[in-house]
Amino acid sequence: MSVTSDPVEQPAEQLVDPQEELLTDHSYDGIQEYDNPLPGWWTWLFIGSFFFSIFYVVYFHMGATGRTIQDQYDQQAARIFELRFAEIGELKLDEATIVQYMNDPKWLSVGKVIYKTNCVSCHGPEGGGLVGPNLTDDHWKNVRKIEDIATVIQDGAANGAMPAWRNRLSHVNQIVLSAAYVASLRGNGATGKSPEGDLIPPWPESKQ
Amino acid sequence: MHDETSSGAAAKSASSSTQLDSFSYDDHIVRLFALATLIWGLVGTLAGLIVAIILVMPQWTFMEYISFGRLRPLHTNAAIFAFAGNAIFAAVYYSTQRLCKARMWSDLLSHLHFWGWQLIIVAAAITLPLGITQSKEYAELEWPIDIAIALVWVGFFGVNFFMTLIKRRERHMYVALWFYIATIVTVALLHVFNNLVVPAGWFKSYPIYAGVQDAMMQWWYGHNAVAFFLTTPFLGLMYYFLPKAAERPVFSYKLSIIHFWSLVFIYIWAGPHHLHYTALAAWASSLGMIFSLMLWMPSWGGMINGLLTLRGAWHKVAVDPVLKFFVVGVTFYGMSTFEGPMLAIKSVNALSHYTDWTIAHVHSGALGWNGFMTFGMLYWMLPRIFQTKLWSTKLATWHFWIGTLGILLYIIPIYVAGLTQGLMWRAFDPAGNLAYPEFVETITSIVPMWWTRVGGGTLYVAGIVMMAVNYFMTWRNRPGTYDVPIVKAPPLSGGYVDPPGPESRLKGKPVTDFANSLDVWEQARWHRVWERLPVKFTVWVTIVVIVASAFELIPTFMIRSNVPTIETVKPYTPLELIGRDLYVAEGCYNCHSQMIRPLFAETERYGEYSKPGEFVYDRPFQWGSRRIGPDLARIGGKYSHAWHYEHFKEPTSVNLGSVMPAYPHLYTRELNFGSIPARMQAVAALGAEYTPTELANSEELAHVQARQIVKELLEQDPTIPQVDENGVKLADTQLIALIAYIQRVGTDYFASPEDAAAEPAAEGEGEAGDQEPADPAVEAADDPVGNAVPPANQSNEEDQ
């Protein structure tokens, strides 16, 4: 201490050469402190983080378009939909289209991803049915024609037992391709629940 | 060690003419807190080990009280408030007395503090497994316990500490005390403002904040609980015990000043980095990010001051387990405080958030920094408080190595798990489809890593057991009666004159007066003056913390465009409200988020991203922070009632590989319909627009809706029994309320205005309308296929 109001002594052994580093006159319960300056790299990184922050705010928050998170999301969505569907455009929701894609292994795999994301927990990994009905046999509950599958996917059925997917599948092609995949499950021989609903005629043959 | 005159020894030649006070330090209270630290350290880490095991073996959840959702908060609370809390108190009570040359102001307050805190911990250990929770992370305890915490923290601990500061005999306050001041002030503020609630009975309350604002308050609190409960007090601990153990001067006094004030000021802003890409306004999220980046160097200031204090003492590290613990502890502090700012960068956070990366990050901080600093302190303290040699230095060294190995075996696999799951969630195949469309695939692939963690955790707990043995054996060797040294020091005299201020080092150079004053200011003599004025110092800390908080919190509450209104979002029905309370009580938020971020991989998996206006009736918010299960923000209507019925009974029956525990008690427990009116009154008081009829008939309305759901459920699956073998009607069970809530979540956004308007009226008449609340299938019929059109007056842009 600089003032003699305390009977504090300096530690007996001075471990550091005072020539090299300056000790302050502080001593608390025997703890001393050096008067070392701030490390240069520390100071400059600290100052650098300030400047980076200013740059960051100007770049993202001064009104430039296309830089908000929502804008970036829209760009990403557009990119991916283009990647997915540039080749086939916007599909029509009709019998011919569903039948066509039911027989197209490349696009069936897209339907399969949609099925895996959304449908397996009720209809089972192979379509054999869990809480929901078996999709592999010839008995169907709300489907007479192949395009009814798309209707059921979009609007649901049986008072919520089958939920509606209209708000969840964000592109019409996803409805068509998932309907095509579901149609393709028929007759795959998966073990599952016993048949429910009515016996319906086979799906139409592909025109191609 | 220099001014303590032990009772036996001759009084030192305090030749000054001043009258010396004689006093002794209260080490009894330190012994109590040290023991509590040890015991709660064992309990907290064991609880962690149990939840880690329950997570990989969910079928071992043999009773509801030990389900992951209820036990995980117990683990976090025990680790933070019981283990780290008692460690802080042991450190504060030991060091403050010596740094102030004064006994704690009141032995009574010391003991009230100790026993009050232990009582709070016991109350937590009872209420959390019972499902009594506010569900805000690390602020789960219900309001009566919160009041007790405020009383013990401020009334007992705070008063005792500050009165000791005022009655001190050391003129200036050492840096450790600055950190203790910041801790006590800020934790009090955080705790009080985050826990403002309206009670609905002794065991249930609703926060005064809803949705986005509740999330903002919670992570203002949550992040700063890390800052001011797990960082500043431990820095104070480091500043006292590390130079003591190393017997070396602190590296830089000036660095202490700069990093203290920058840490205290900048930390407060960083909370919103827990909410990147959520419905929180973008400006707040960006503030959280940039302040986190600016926090990097202030944090490292502490690490540098710690590690560089060891210069010239590294040879001691080789032999002294205390210093070993400190070196690794401070190193983990440096690692975590580099990783923290990195995780706060939005694009990194997009990958890491909701994954185990966060878990690995907090455990490198908690096990490495908080744990090892605590162990180092205890091993240094034991010989001193028990006035004998440490029973076994070798065992302590073994604890160090096994603990280090335990940490590595914990965090490395969990980092791998976090990265793996995060990358799987966002992976697209070359055709642009989700590469791992089934959520459960992303879990089954990391279960082996979770098993490895169980091994790492076991080693860490084993280390604490070794410390317990060492503790016990050292205690057994204590003297019959403790020697209580009498310390002599003069009281602080009035009329102290600060030494003359420094001259500008630029004097005589061709510079302006301003440059000269700046140089004088930079030499920080003004700070030296503050250091002898604890009240002024405390007031400044308080101002800094409040100003920084106000900059973020006030706009969050005041700017309307932060939460654009969505007309179709309506309050929960009585049954949905109590169902939501069950969701909260079961701790579902521990594994499920309710916040879909605007990232394409996420909307592909879960649906339309979440909007701020959707959460205005969510008290508390349930956004979550980890996805052990999938996001539930759009779960409403996604599955049938019958599916939920099967799923809660046995999750693996419909989802092979699921790690969700079964919830059989939901099927047998009757819902407490009688508690609904109080709940309705509470949320109505907070602004939920219920009609007087709804408030008056809430119980009956809940019954009507429950019967309706059972009716639909039986249509979906006629085999479900309406009455179980004990005579409990299905419509009266907790399950039905929970299903009612789950079927509502996230559906209002797609509801049409007419529907939203019609719905409450229909229920007000007590009709069992055949229309399920806000069934998205019906309302969206006019939407063009393929595009969910947001309702009117919804605006996505919230940039100020």
Which DSSP string do the residues of chain A spell out, in sequence order? --STTS-PPPPSS--S-TTTSPEEEEEETTEEEEBPPPPHHHHHHHHHHHHHHHHHHHHHHSS-TT-SHHHHHHHHHHHHHHHHHTTT-SPP-SHHHHHHHHT-HHHHHHHHHHHHHHTHHHH-TTS--SSSPPSSSSEESS-SSHHHHHHHHHH-BTTTTB---TTTS-SHHHHHHHHHHHHHHTTS----SPP-SEE-PPPPPP--
- Three-class SS state of B206: strand
Name every residue whose Cβ is closer than 8 Å to that of residue B331 and which is 6 or more positions away in sequence. Answer: B303, B307, B368
Chain A contacts of B779, Cβ < 8 Å?
A: none
Give CATH for domain B581-782: 1.10.760.10
Say which of A63, A113, A120 has its CB closest to residue B434. Answer: A113
Most confident range, picked from A156-160, B391-395, B560-564: B391-395
Q: What is the Cα–Cα distance from A162 to A171, expressed in whole angstroms?
A: 20
pLDDT confidence of residue B494 = 85
Contact criterion met (CB < 8 Å) for A46 and B715: no
For residues B294-304, give the mean pLDDT: 97
Which DSSP string do the residues of B545-564 spell out, in sequence order? HHHHHHHHHHHHHH-GGGS-
Chain B contacts of A164, Cβ < 8 Å?
A: 637, 775-777, 780
Is residue B743's pLDDT more than 60?
A: yes
Indicate the residue type of A59. Y
User: Nearest residue on chain A to B13, judged by CA atoms?
Assistant: A7
Q: What is the Cα–Cα distance from A121 to B439, expressed in whole angstroms?
A: 11
Contact criterion met (CB < 8 Å) for A46 and B493: no
Q: What is the Cα–Cα distance from B34 to B674, expressed in whole angstroms?
A: 46
Contact criterion met (CB < 8 Å) for A42 and B283: no
Contact B27, B385 (CB under 8 A): yes
* Element (DSSP H or E) covering residue B158: none
Chain B contacts of A75, Cβ < 8 Å?
A: none
- Percent of chain A scoring above 70 in pLDDT: 89
For residues B474-488, give the mean pLDDT: 95
Chain A contacts of B246, Cβ < 8 Å?
A: none
Residues in chain A: 208
User: Nearest residue on chain A to B313, judged by CA atoms?
Assistant: A15
Is residue A1's pLDDT more than 70?
A: no
Contact criterion met (CB < 8 Å) for A159 and B715: yes
B347: contact with A, CB 8 A cutoff = no
Using alpha carbons only, what angle is made at residue B588 by residues B582 and B352, rounded to the nearest 5 degrees? 155
For residue B207, the 8-state DSSP code is E
Is residue B271's pLDDT more than 90?
A: yes
User: Nearest residue on chain A to B297, judged by CA atoms?
Assistant: A46
Say which of A76, A161, A167 has its CB closest to residue B780. Answer: A167
Q: What is the Cα–Cα distance from B215 to B595, expressed in whole angstroms?
A: 11
A19: contact with B, CB 8 A cutoff = no
Cis amide bond preceding B620, omega within 30:
yes
Contact B487, B5 (CB under 8 A): yes
pLDDT confidence of residue A86 = 80
Contact B616, B279 (CB under 8 A): no
pLDDT confidence of residue B243 = 97
Sequence ranges of chain B with CATH classification 1.10.760.10? 581-782
Q: What is the Cα–Cα distance from B543 to B265, expressed in whole angstroms?
A: 10
Name every residue whose Cβ is closer than 8 Å to that of residue B700 and which is 6 or more positions away in sequence. Answer: B766
Chain B contacts of A120, Cβ < 8 Å?
A: 438
Q: Is the ipTM of this complex over 0.90?
A: no
Which DSSP string do the residues of B423-440 spell out, in sequence order? HHHH-B-TTSSBSS-SHH
HEC string of B14-29? Answer: CCCCCCCEEECCCCHH
- Taking the CA of residue A3 and the nearest CA in chain B, the distance in Å comes to 8
Confidence band, pLDDT 50/70/90 cuts, at residue A208:
low
Is residue B312's pLDDT more than 60?
A: yes
- Percent of chain B scoring above 90 in pLDDT: 83
- Percent of chain B scoring above 70 in pLDDT: 92
Among candidate residues B142, B122, B139, the one with its CA nearest the CA of residue B131: B142
CB neighbourhood size of B6 (10 A):
11
Chain B contacts of A166, Cβ < 8 Å?
A: 776-777, 780, 783, 785, 788
Integer angstrom CA distances of residue B532 from B168, B231, B526: 10, 24, 11
For residues A36-53, give the mean pLDDT: 96
The number of helices, as runs of H, and strands, as runs of E, in chain B is: 33, 4
Is residue B605's pLDDT more than 90?
A: yes
Contact criterion met (CB < 8 Å) for B294 and A31: no
Q: What is the Cα–Cα distance from B274 to B500, expressed in whole angstroms?
A: 47
Start-to-end C-alpha separation, chain B: 58
Sequence ranges of chain B with CATH classification 1.20.210.10? 25-431
- Taking the CA of residue A31 and the nearest CA in chain B, the distance in Å comes to 6
φ, ψ (nearest 5 deg) of residue B279: -75, 5
Integer angstrom CA distances of residue B181 from A28, B31, B541: 17, 22, 8
Beta bridge partners of B487: B23
Beta bridge partners of B199: B205
- Taking the CA of residue B292 and the nearest CA in chain A, the distance in Å comes to 10
Is residue B710's pLDDT more than 70?
A: yes
Choose, out of B5, B250, B597, the residue to mutate when testing the contact with A (most A CBs < 10 Å): B250
Q: For residues A68, A74, A77 and A83, what is the CA-based torsion angle, rounded to 10 degrees?
A: -100
List, for residues B125-160, the tens digit of each pLDDT value. Answer: 999 999 999 999 999 999 999 999 999 999 999 999
Choose, out of B253, B525, B605, B794, the residue to mutate when testing the contact with A (most A CBs < 10 Å): B253
B499: contact with A, CB 8 A cutoff = yes
For residue B670, the 8-state DSSP code is B
Start-to-end C-alpha separation, chain A: 97
Say which of B251, B643, B786 has its CB closest to residue A36. Answer: B251
More confident residue, B526 or A12: B526
pLDDT confidence of residue A2 = 40
Is residue B757's pLDDT more than 70?
A: no
A58: contact with B, CB 8 A cutoff = no
User: Nearest residue on chain A to B598, judged by CA atoms?
Assistant: A73
- Three-class SS state of B252: strand
Integer angstrom CA distances of residue A29 from A12, B234, B353, B658: 14, 19, 45, 57
- Three-class SS state of B139: coil
Compute the count of residue pairs across chains A and B with CB atoms less than 8 Å apart: 272
- Three-class SS state of B356: helix
Say which of A60, A93, A131 has its CB closest to residue B646. Answer: A131
Is residue A101's pLDDT more than 70?
A: yes
User: Nearest residue on chain B to A51, judged by CA atoms?
Assistant: B294
Is residue A159's pLDDT more than 90?
A: no
φ, ψ (nearest 5 deg) of residue B107: -65, -30
Q: What is the Cα–Cα distance from B251 to B599, expressed in whole angstroms?
A: 46
pLDDT confidence of residue B779 = 38
Contact criterion met (CB < 8 Å) for B432 and A80: yes
How far is C-alpha A84 from the chain's CA centre?
17
Beta bridge partners of B746: none
Write out the CATH class of domain B25-431. mainly alpha
- Taking the CA of residue A169 and the nearest CA in chain B, the distance in Å comes to 7
Among candidate residues B750, B745, B742, the one with its CA nearest the CA of residue B781: B750
Contact B170, A6 (CB under 8 A): yes
3-state helix, strand, coil in chain B (%, to 5): 65, 5, 35
Is residue B413's pLDDT more than 70?
A: yes
pLDDT confidence of residue B755 = 67
B432: contact with A, CB 8 A cutoff = yes
B338: contact with A, CB 8 A cutoff = no
For residues B327-331, give the mean pLDDT: 98
A154: contact with B, CB 8 A cutoff = yes
Q: What is the Cα–Cα distance from B744 to B764, expressed in whole angstroms?
A: 18
A44: contact with B, CB 8 A cutoff = no
Chain A contacts of B443, Cβ < 8 Å?
A: none
How high does pLDDT run on average in chain B?
A: 91
Q: For residues B548, B550, B556 and B558, what is the CA-based torsion angle, rounded to 10 degrees?
A: -150
Q: What is the Cα–Cα distance from A181 to A169, expressed in whole angstroms?
A: 15
Pick one of 3.20.20.370, 3.40.50.300, 3.20.20.80, 1.10.760.10 as the CATH number of A89-199: 1.10.760.10
User: Nearest residue on chain B to A164, judged by CA atoms?
Assistant: B777
Contact criterion met (CB < 8 Å) for B776 and A167: yes
Say which of B18, B283, B653 has its CB closest to residue A5. Answer: B18
More confident residue, A85 or B287: B287
Name every residue whose Cβ is closer than 8 Å to that of residue B48 and which is 6 or more positions away in sequence. Answer: B75, B79, B457
Indicate the residue type of B372. F
CB neighbourhood size of B536 (10 A):
12
A171: contact with B, CB 8 A cutoff = yes
Say which of A7, A37, A46 has its CB closest to residue B254. Answer: A37
Chain A contacts of B799, Cβ < 8 Å?
A: 61, 63, 68
- Taking the CA of residue B307 and the nearest CA in chain A, the distance in Å comes to 13
Chain A contacts of B743, Cβ < 8 Å?
A: 160
Chain B contacts of A93, Cβ < 8 Å?
A: 785
B596: contact with A, CB 8 A cutoff = no
Is residue B408's pLDDT more than 90?
A: yes
pLDDT confidence of residue B347 = 94
Most confident range, picked from B5-14, B251-260, B764-773: B251-260
> Which region among B6-10, B424-428, B603-607, B704-708 has the lowest average model confidence (pLDDT)?
B6-10
User: Nearest residue on chain A to B4, judged by CA atoms?
Assistant: A29
Chain B contacts of A16, Cβ < 8 Å?
A: 249, 312
A9: contact with B, CB 8 A cutoff = yes
Is residue B120's pLDDT more than 60?
A: yes
* Element (DSSP H or E) covering residue B205: strand B205-207
Residues 66-125 in A contacting B (C-alpha not used; CB under 8 Å) = 68-70, 72-73, 76-77, 80-81, 83-84, 90, 93, 109-110, 113-114, 116-117, 120-122, 125
pLDDT confidence of residue B756 = 60
pLDDT confidence of residue B37 = 98
Integer angstrom CA distances of residue A131 from A198, B500, B650, B654, B707: 18, 84, 12, 7, 21
